[in-house]
Structure 1
Amino acid sequence: GHAGRGDDYHYHIAPKCLIEDLGKKWVDVDKKPIGYAMDGFPIHALGWFNKGNAVEAQLDPCRGMKDDSGNYFYNVKTSSSWDVLNCLTGEPQKFARDRWHHRVDRTGKEITGIPMRFAIKDSMRTSHGRDVCHVTTGMLQGEQLLLTSGKTRRVNAEEGALFYCNKACYGLFFEADKSRKIRGRAIYYDYIVSGCPGGFDVASLRTFTPYEGPAQKRKGPPGTGKRPRQ
């Protein structure tokens, strides 16, 4: 799974970590769902822990079937390629209640992510008045870091934190502008703490070396020319 541009975390294959966390009793003994499809039917993982519950041979083309009581459900594939479902049997329902405010940087522009080599170790979320602060710690690996001097440094393995509370309180990586002096892609750590909420102890975080050189244009994805990239 991964977060989309709206910070909406979603899965493309069977949520292996979620299923393992729910455990054998939930999944294969009590036979409870691990989620729901957009048409409202439950999604199960029968056979994940107990192969005696396997229903793969009974599934329809959408990966669904009815239980003994006549209730329809989908079942994820419990082996590679870990499919969730191939199509929707019912009509999509508008039951989602997700609401969020898109992250913006200090200039008020929306922050859009890019792939980077950051192995997540831990994460937490805390509320401070009207702000919700998200902190993710992990290991930055194999990235080229832009320094304030304009030179770059290759980071092979360096632990630190990424955080975001509001547009005046964050520590995030952005992609640096292209330059003849830089071979390949470089990123820089934008560290802004002028508006951190009371109670958020930013000084306790192990952060990366901030970039304090000339302002970067932080161009967005190709074709937009608007959004910065994280």
Structure 2
Amino acid sequence: MIRCSWPVYAVLLLTLTGRQLWAHHLEAGTEVTSPGPLPPIVLHGSHLRGEVVLMAQAQRQPPAPATSSLGLPPQATVFQAFAPKVGVRAEGQFLYVESDGMPAHNMMVGITAWQQQVPLPQAYTGANAWRIPLNPVPAKSPASIKNRFLRGAIALAANGIPIFNPQNNRGEVSAEIGELDQWGGHCGRADDYHYHAAPLHLQTLLGKGQPIAYALDGYPIFGLTEPDGSAPAQLDAFNGHSTPALGYHYHASLKYPYVNGGFHGEVVERDGQVDPQPRAGGVREALQALRGARITGFTAKEKSYSLKYEVSSETRYVNYTLLDAGAVKFDFVDGRGQTRTETYSPRQRGPGGGERPPGEPKGKDGRKKGPAKGPPPPERDASTGPARGPRPTSSTPTTTPPSSRSREKSATDPKIR
């Protein structure tokens, strides 16, 4: 029988109790929101609003190992800290990183410019995994990301979440127009969650001595400081520099470009993005902006999610559940508690995640148009007429006939059932 002193016993008891409480917290789907109004984005490392979620994530995730597992390159270290949610393998000249694209923290809270997309798991696995060069090569002509690479990811965070250009597909800086949550992320047109700014909370989890991400050219991205805590000096136009200890690396920043402002290393640009990179799989057509909406809450269970938002002085919900064979059931709950249910089957969008290509035609107002035959949004504000539901799609890009939709209306509790 192992004996231990009462202080050790107390620590063990508190640790086990804390884990049980956190497990119960997740099982109950308790909503974690940030107090008070949120700005478009808050980038203050450990002082991020939503710190309760950050600390809970730190408890759930083990600290980054000092070295990578036997047979894996050192670049794998930060990704291994998020196992089993994130997986790695080394093949040839690349580190392949697998994830489902869903972080441990809550998502979407604080967004005021919302395209009605919600976070769905993605299959970034196998041949569709992220690819990081193990031996990055300095480019003869380094490429800026300003007004370029507006599709797809430019980097991959240590928690397996892609990082996109700080500019959206219209060339606007997402962090400046209310498109991002308190973690610097939002959902693309394929309901794929990604960051448009550096995920600084990862520096708190991993420590200052570890990168928080890797750019797709293979160079690491560190947080706001050097590993010794000092401020980075003499950064180039891409937020990068070389030091004797680390060689060339990028740093995050609290203002544009937030992450790597370009690629010091060699990359291939094709169709406005780094190529190759994974494809995001969507189950429904991309939706339109819902004017005046503000996302105020997000709850996650094992296979069910609830997004809470306010619009037109009403509180509304998008509740959705993952079904078999990749299908997703959506319950759109209005301010009166009436529910409209739509079920969607899988379909695959094009490469580059859920961002619209920058070359699509523009309308009279100068904004880029969506698909010529796209569906109406599930909600409209009061000035644009009655709400209508999106058309579910089949496993092919064609639209499923209305007669095959799964639809029901009932008065219901807006929370996840």
Q: TM-score range by the shorter chain?
A: 0.5 to 0.7
Partner residue of 1:203? none
Q: Greater helix percent: which structure?
A: 2
Rounded Cα–Cα distance in structure 2 between residues aligned with 1:194 and 1:81:
37
Partner residue of 2:193? 9
Rounded Cα–Cα distance in structure 2 between residues aligned with 1:194 and 1:89:
41
Residue 250 of structure 2 is aligned with which of 46, 60, 74? 74
Higher RCO (CA 8 Å, separation ≥ 6 residues): 2
CA offsets, 1:50-79, max 9 Å, x none?
8x4210x321121111232352210011x3
In the alignment, does 2:230 pair up with 1:58? no
Partner residue of 1:89? 264
Rounded Cα–Cα distance in structure 1 between residues aligned with 2:226 and 2:288:
33
Aligned length: 157
Residue 163 of structure 1 is aligned with which of 320, 323, 333? 320
Rounded Cα–Cα distance in structure 1 between residues aligned with 2:307 and 2:191:
17
Counterpart contact for 1:75–1:85, Cα < 8 Å: yes
CA offsets, 1:173-213, max 9 Å, x none?
79xxxxxxxxxxxxx96313699xxxxxxxxxxxxxxxxxx
Q: Greater strand percent: which structure?
A: 1
Task: Give the direction of change, closer, same or farther, for the CA distance of 1:59–1:21 in structure 2 (3 Å limit).
Answer: closer
1:45 CA displacement: 0.3
After TM superposition, the structure 1 = structure 2 runs for residues 1-230 of structure 1, keeping only pairs within 5 Å, are: 1-15=185-199, 19-23=200-204, 26-28=206-208, 31-47=209-225, 52-55=229-232, 57-69=233-245, 71-77=247-253, 79-81=254-256, 83-92=258-267, 94=275, 96=277, 98-104=278-284, 110-112=285-287, 114-115=289-290, 116-126=293-303, 134-138=304-308, 140-143=309-312, 154-155=313-314, 158=315, 160-165=317-322, 169-172=329-332, 190-192=340-342, 222=369, 224-228=371-375, 229-230=377-378
Rounded Cα–Cα distance in structure 2 between residues aligned with 1:3 and 1:194:
18
CA offsets, 1:80-120, max 9 Å, x none?
45721222111226463x3443113xxxxx24353432222
Counterpart contact for 2:186–2:194, Cα < 8 Å: yes
Counterpart contact for 2:203–2:210, Cα < 8 Å: no
Counterpart contact for 2:241–2:248, Cα < 8 Å: yes
Task: Give the direction of change, closer, same or farther, for the CA distance of 1:222–1:22 in structure 2 (3 Å limit).
Answer: same
Counterpart contact for 2:333–2:340, Cα < 8 Å: yes
Rounded Cα–Cα distance in structure 2 between residues aligned with 1:67 and 1:90:
16
1:12 CA displacement: 2.4
TM-score, reference length from structure 2: 0.32
Counterpart contact for 1:27–1:48, Cα < 8 Å: no
Task: Give the direction of change, closer, same or farther, for the CA distance of 1:9–1:122 in structure 2 (3 Å limit).
Answer: same
> How large is the RMSD of aligned CA atoms in angstroms?
3.7
Task: Give the direction of change, closer, same or farther, for the CA distance of 1:12–1:99 in structure 2 (3 Å limit).
Answer: closer
Rounded Cα–Cα distance in structure 2 between residues aligned with 1:193 and 1:118:
23
Rounded Cα–Cα distance in structure 2 between residues aligned with 1:82 and 1:65:
15
1:227 CA displacement: 1.7
Task: Give the direction of change, closer, same or farther, for the CA distance of 1:20–1:82 in structure 2 (3 Å limit).
Answer: farther
Point out where structure 2 has 5 or more consecutive residues left out of the alignment: 1-184, 269-274, 346-367, 379-417
